[in-house]
């Protein structure tokens, strides 16, 4: 993939385990790294969940190779949140570019 096509800014989010004011454990999504990427939608559909239609928009996101990106992270792009569907794929196993398959999450905040 042409590096010049990495023309979108995305931010990787990772979960942090913290305590609230009364000592209760809670999980909070925090910003981890902001990088250049290519964001490509490749599927759009809806599924029924508990008698409600849930939109599913699936994307592929490409970034320069990084070994610190894991499937338990999320991606923030233009105020939209994407869950990573599985481990990033090292394209052609050359440690130059990774493909991240993800699904848009329709939620309030991170």
Tell whether 71 is covered by a domain: yes
Q: Which among 100, 38, 41, 35 has a CA at the least distance from the CA of 70? A: 100
Reported as a single tens digit per residue, the pLDDT across 67-94 is: 999 999 999 999 999 999 999 999 999 9
pLDDT of residue 43: 72
Give residue 71's domain range: 3-105
The answer to whether position 17 is within a domain reads: yes
pTM of the model: 0.82
Q: Is residue 33 part of a domain?
A: yes
Complete DSSP assignment for 15-43:
EEEEE-TTS-EEEEEEEEEEEEEEEEEEE
Determine, yes or no, domain membership for 110. no
The mean per-residue pLDDT over the stretch 8-28 comes to 92
pLDDT single digits (tens) 28-50:
999 999 999 999 998 766 566 56
45 in a structural domain: yes
Which CATH number characterizes residue 34's domain? 2.40.10.270
Determine whether 90 is exposed, middle or buried from the number of CB atoms within 10 Å of its CB (0-12, 13-18, 19+): middle
Residue 11 in any domain: the answer is yes
Domain count, the chain: 1
């Amino acid at each position: 993939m042409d590096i010049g096509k990495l023309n979108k800014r995305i931010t990787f989010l990772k979960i942090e385990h913290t305590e609230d004011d009364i000592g209760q454990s809670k999980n909070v999504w925090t910003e981890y790294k902001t990088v250049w990427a290519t964001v490509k939608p490749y599927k759009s559909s809806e599924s029924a969940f508990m008698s409600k239609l849930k939109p599913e928009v699936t994307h592929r996101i490409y970034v320069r190779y990084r070994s610190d990106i894991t499937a338990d992270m999320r991606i923030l792009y233009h105020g939209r949140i994407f869950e990573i569907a599985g481990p990033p794929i090292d394209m052609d196993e050359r440690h130059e570019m990774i493909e991240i398959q993800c699904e848009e999450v329709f939620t309030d905040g991170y």
